[in-house]
Structure 1
Amino acid sequence: MAALRGPRALLWRWWPNPLRRRSDRLEAWTVLATWLLVLLAGMVAGLAAAESVERTLARERVEWRPVPALLTERAPGTRAAGAERVWAKVRWTAPDGSAHEGQTRVDPGSAAGTPVTVWTDPDGLLVTRPATEAQAGLRAAMIGILIGVSASAVPFAGGRMVRGRLERRRMDQWDMEWERVGPQWGWKTG
């Protein structure tokens, strides 16, 4: 068992050996190419996705603005310690002067006419509060990792398919050789 330990055991396909078949060399190159493609595809796709998410969230932080709004009706529920915010209708004026209505989350039991702050896009439509720089960095990193792992699965699966095909071909060759050599042994027990 000691012979299989160490760095040489990892590179056994690359050793010069008279028993090494052409399929062994092809498999060694396939494994190397597969892992290089897995790393390259994962890194490129992950970094590109993270950059795209980061850029989009930075643009949202620049373009989205807080706007004062007023509740148009009393918010459902009653004020209680730890009560969750509820949906209520609000009205606000967009930067171009047009009036808009929509729903946002407010404290339960808020009276009609209560001022609240809503976030709008450049067109004056309701949006969520933009992500902070820290939140954007975390989102970009998580999405980059997810996309990177997903993208690296494609060359990994392709490499596994090629290796499986090589293995089937090698087994078929061994079967043909065994059919040719096996009967020559002639020694039987029984």
Structure 2
Amino acid sequence: MKIGLTGGIATGKSTVASMLQRKGAPLVDADVIAREVVEPGSPVLGRVAERFGSDILLADGSLNRKKLGAIVFADPTQRKALESLLHPPIRALMKERMALLERQYPDKPVIVDVPLLYESGLEAMFDAVMVVYVPAELQRERLKQRDGLTEEQAEQRLAAQLPIEEKRRRADFVIDNAGTLEETQRQIDLFWKESGLP
């Protein structure tokens, strides 16, 4: 079983991913893969620098995420351009890792943490989608606190994603992460049990 794990920015996907891993589920993290494909010297990073200018690179040749983020979050056209460069190699590597883990762990669900799963139209890659949910107000507050953002910066990042209520509506499984960690863990335990997992 391949489960796409998603949610909104600052809803607690990493927390839920860790809980699923502790249950024995292998994890593919799209963010980790996204960092791998733009490692210094990689052809993908070369194409990104070509498109956005070499000043998005740090002195050591690595990507200046803050500078690139400022460009793409302020302009949807620029964000789309970046996505067209990054998404194909990220997807290819994700599929490769998923197939490998399915062979290694045939009796476990392979969890694939994909922040922009719905936005990227990736539902078809998975047997089911699990959404980590918190109400939009709480999401905004957590985002501002976690990343030290202004209201405007938080809004820009939230506007780049489908609203959390829409994601919740489309999910096969919803994990409500607005309460305590214990409450979240209980939902994970229930999901595991109801799915008949060992």
Given the two structures, how large is their TM-score scaled by the length of structure 1? 0.23
Given the two structures, how large is their TM-score scaled by the length of structure 2? 0.22
Greater radius of gyration (CA): 1
Q: Identify the structure with the greater strand proportion.
A: 1
